[in-house]
Structure 1
Amino acid sequence: MFLPVILAGGSGTRLWPLSRKLYPKQFLAFGGELSMLQQSVMRLQGLQCSSPLLVCNEDHRFLTAEQMRQMGHEDITILLEPEGRNTAPAIALAALHATSNGNDPILLIMAADHHIQDQQAFHESVSKAADQAGKDWLVTFGIVPGSPETGYGYIQRGQEIQGQAYRVERFVEKPDSDTAAAYLKAGDYYWNSGMFMFRAGRYLEELKKFEPDILASCSAALQNARQDMHFVRVDKDAFSACPSDSIDYAVMEKTQDAAIVPMEAGWSDVGSWSSLWDLLPRDAEGNSCKGDVITLETSNSLLLSDNRLVATLGVQDLVVVETKDAVLVAHKNRAQEIKALVNHIKSSGRSEHITHREVFRPWGSYDSIDAGGRYQVKRITVKPGAKLSLQKHHHRAEHWVVVSGTAMVTNGEESFLVTENQSTYIPLGRTHSLENPGKIPLELIEVQSGAYLGEDDIVRFEDIYGRLEKD
């Protein structure tokens, strides 16, 4: 038995505009119903392992919990990072948590946003790595390269240890095209997968040896952690003081006990739109299309429609991605440069890199469908049995019109039902709440009016999701 640790803390820029800071790619589904995070959990089926431990950013806690609930993992433990500090501290938190009960399990470190096509080959590599991790090696998985890829770091294998496991000779940075071609020809270089397997205690020993400040900060952060439902909230001040570093730089490149197990399982980190195009099914013209898409004399393109018709004529090698609030048009060969475009959006003072027009909350979601100088219109969906916080606003009043389902409304001292085609009015400053007591989603239109309509104009008094301190 081993403990899978799934790192789900990515910020999501390379697959913009589908991926946003508050809805990164690990929560998206490409070519199926399951998100990349859910696929990572499903990938463990058939292995002799315990229920996975998740590490995610506090901003993504409800997305993570909801996607686990959909899979029947309501009681899964989720470690929350107050802010991202890279992989070495994230894994340190997981290792410290795993050893807090006196045990010293083998950890399988996985990323939540990787694609693996051949599950059986993945399982075979994990089995080989577990054998070496049980002998106190710190194992990384090297992907057998299929091309001279310049977007990945590489690992050179050294002397064979046992059973297709090797000492790590060296880690190398992302190469230029000529160097990558030489690595491919040499046959002893592998893509750096970012997946690892080792005993929790061995990792902590090496971290203490090479980066004691990281271990000290993470130990303090977890020592002062508090349980919040199935979330483990580490101490924000202690964790914020932690140095930011990757596990490669902090431990794997320094330890004398690094081993590599080759893996050939159809792996991809889905790091760009062009890499997603490589993975998805394509038609006779080489186009990969999803959503409402019409093509004419179009070839070798990735065309994704989330909300509206996308029609193309006489183009090739394009990436076109449409969402409710943004449209990306890029040459497929430039898809690795999306991060620069997102940085430009950020520096322009815009918000499209942060969140989608439709925003997800633990109780459901809202979609801002119209806005003006002193008004805003939202379409609100409340899940069955869910309840918004008891709250008030200092600067706005709200009109609610129920279009589907039944709402239990608290409006000041009164509580009453509002059903389809009925409405209610919440005056400025009035304490109020909204609940769905039914068995189908509650849909309503909310019209806000007032001098200020920002989401920070919320004063909460009661909240079943633990958001009184922070939304």
Structure 2
Amino acid sequence: MPKKHSNAASLTLFHAVVLAGGSGTRLWPLSRQMAPKQFLRLYGDTSLIGHTIGRVMPLSGRQNVLIVSGKSQQAELSAAGLDAYDFLAEPVARNTAPAAALAALRIISRFGDGVMAILPSDHMIKHAPAFRAALKTAGAAALDGAIVTLGIRPTCPETGYGYIEIRSGGRTSAKAVKALRFVEKPSLAVAEKYLRSGRFLWNAGIFVLKASTLLSEFRRHVPAAGPVLDKLAAQAFHGGRVDKKALERLFPLFPSVSLDYGIMEKSDLVLTVPCEMGWSDLGNWRCLHELADKDGNGNALRGDALLEGCKNVLVHADSGLVAVMGMENVAVVESRDAVLVCPLDRAQDLPRITDRLKALKRPELHRHLNVSKTWGAVDLLEAGPGHSVRKISVLPGAELSAEDCAGLRGHLVVASGTARLSGGGRVLKLCAHGAFDAVKNRVSTLKNTGRGPLDIIEIAPFGRGRNT
């Protein structure tokens, strides 16, 4: 058991570990398998992951923010303006416990042992000061060896969250209390019982502990992880640097296990800080409506929306005008290539739609028409049975990957900017209105050599069907 914890003021070094490797479609059609929720701008002009980092930076400072994500999401991080932060790429998906262990190894190799706050990247927290106060309380206990979770006082019998049982009530707490047990998502009847008892909190999936505590408890409760941790520490994390080849070789050896199941439900070190901070995991469109700012009729609007005679309506217009008349308690979500209309009280049933899209192999489940790249973006403007039109935007000084160059199979016309292109045995400098036939000549390299953006229109004489 952890010893009695010291005052929160003794917490001097706080590492914010942002887990951003998840992908999902719970907020489809905006979130997609290749465009996960954490990169969406659902309120304000900042992505959810940007809000997550902004909330914790007053405690951690910029230098102590570490993002753990999949390799495929580096382009999204760059597009969100987050590529300046320390970043670890998971070679493969292995769930949250191995991802957090990577962060712990990275922190120890760079700074020595320290307190880390493990944060989901895609949650909403409306009251940031209350969040930081809870983290300070948790950090004080973590210094003395505890594993501390943030437990949210439930406001309704929610069946979509896991719960933490504690001994007594109190709406918030200035100290961490013993977590008696973790329970999975309950039925409605059980959730109602939990709410009446006053002894159960929502599990926010936010954990605060020392890096050394995470590694020791991971070894203790998931013995198969121990040899992998030893090899990673010796071969991939040394001298404050990351050996990417060793990481790619060793990380897949981890068992796939979550922090909750692998450690939290088994450890005797777990405490929780009861708190109220306007938290939601934004698991469906109803959750977003509940926390969004609303007008006098309970309507929450984002984008170009026009309502007439509506109550309790959520509208998210992504690319054009959405007009809604005479409707109540519905969500209307528009993107360039798909529209969702559903009752708010059925929002949790969205997997019925996404499962059908998967069975039908519909591309709208996978990605948007506009796809971010590390070097810029590709936007599918039009596609038909015998043609496709794409806009290829390249950042100043950036160069397309060999894979993306190989995917150029149309007539290329420079709309703006300056490009250096090689193909067909030639090296060309193309300015505005310059053209190259990539149907007959394969493009080997393409670079933006100008100071401003480079936009190229590709007209392919065959149907792509979907952007890549």
SS at match of 2:363: coil
Q: TM-score, normalised by structure 1?
A: 0.87
- Kept in 2, the 8 Å contact 1:85–1:242? The answer is yes
Instruction: Name the SS of the counterpart of 1:440 in structure 2.
Output: coil
Match of 2:183 in 1: 172
Q: Which residue of 1 aligns with 2:72?
A: 59
Query: Is contact 2:48–2:121 with CA below 8 Å preserved after alignment?
Result: yes
Q: Which one of the candidate residues 206, 210, 213 is aligned to 1:195?
A: 206
Q: Considering fraction of residues, name the structure with more helix.
A: 2
CA shift for structure 1 position 342: 1.2
Which of 261, 278, 282 in structure 1 is aligned with 2:290?
278
Which is worse superposed, 209-218 or 119-128?
Answer: 209-218
Q: Are residues 1:186 and 2:197 paired?
A: yes
Which residue among 361, 381, 398 is the counterpart of 2:393? 381
Matched, 1:363 2:375: yes
Match of residue 97 from structure 2: 88
**Counterpart among 246, 256, 262 of residue 250 in structure 1:** 262
Amino acid at match of 2:73: H
Aligned residue runs from structure 1 range 224-303, under 5 A: 225=236, 235-236=247-248, 238-303=250-315
Q: Does residue 128 of structure 1 match 2:137?
A: yes
CA distance in 1 between counterparts of 2:162 and 2:405 reads: 50
Per-residue displacement from partner, 1:410-465 (whole Å, max 9, x unpaired)?
33443333233332323435343322223332222101236989988xxxxxxxxx
Q: 1:297 to 1:392 in 2, by over 3 A?
A: closer
**Aligned-pair CA distance for 1:394:** 7.6
Contact 2:25 2:354 (8 Å CA) reproduced: yes
Contact 1:213–1:242 (CA<8 Å) still a contact in 2? yes
Aligned residues: 450
In 2: Cα distance, 1:323 partner to 1:455 partner: 15
Distance in 2 (alpha carbons) for counterparts of 1:230 and 1:28 = 29
Partners of 1:89 and 1:218 within 8 A in 2? no
Greater mean alpha carbon deviation, residues 419-428 or residues 167-176: 419-428
What is the CA-CA distance between 1:102 and the residue it aligns to?
7.7
- Judged with a 3 Å threshold, the aligned counterparts in structure 2 of structure 1 residues 356 and 395 are, in CA distance, closer, same or farther, namely closer
- CA gap of 1:259–1:237, structure 2 versus 1, over 3 A, is same
1:149/1:180 contact within 8 Å kept: yes
SS in 1 for 2:410: strand
Q: TM-score, normalised by structure 2?
A: 0.88
Q: Distance in 2 between matches of 1:360 and 1:344?
A: 26
Moved more, 217-226 or 373-382: 217-226
Number of the residue aligned with 2:52: 40
Separation in 2, partners of 1:151, 1:170:
18
Residue identity matched to 1:214: A
The structural deviation recorded for 1:204 is: 1.4
2:155 to 134, 146, 151: 146
Aligned-pair identity (%): 36
Q: Quick one: which amino acid aligns to residue 137 of structure 1?
A: A
Relative to structure 1, is the Cα distance of residues 241 and 43 closer, same or farther in structure 2, using a 3 angstrom cutoff? same
Check 1:234–1:32 CA distance in 2 against 1; reply closer, same or farther (3 A cut).
farther
On the 8 A contact 1:391/1:431 being kept in 2, the answer is no
Matched residues in 1 for 2:111 and 2:447: separation? 43
User: Structure 1 residues 421-430 or 292-301, which shifts more?
Assistant: 421-430
After superposition, the CA RMSD in angstroms is 2.8
CA–CA separation in structure 1 for the residues paired with 2:106 and 2:329: 47
Q: CA deviation at 1:235?
A: 3.9
AA aligned to 2:283 is G
Q: Distance in 2 between matches of 1:397 and 1:409?
A: 14
Q: Which runs of 5+ in 1 are unaligned?
A: 457-471
Determine if contact 1:82/1:234 at 8 Å carries over to the other structure: no
What is the CA deviation profile of residues 157-183 of structure 1, one whole-angstrom value per residue up to 9, with x for unaligned ones? 1489x9521111111122223322332
Taking the aligned partners of 1:48 and 1:27, their CA distance within structure 2 comes to 21
Aligned residue for 2:288, secondary structure, equals helix
Contact 2:16 2:60 in 1 (8 A): no
Match of 1:398 among 410, 433, 439: 410
How far the C-alpha of 1:132 sits from its partner, in A, is: 0.4
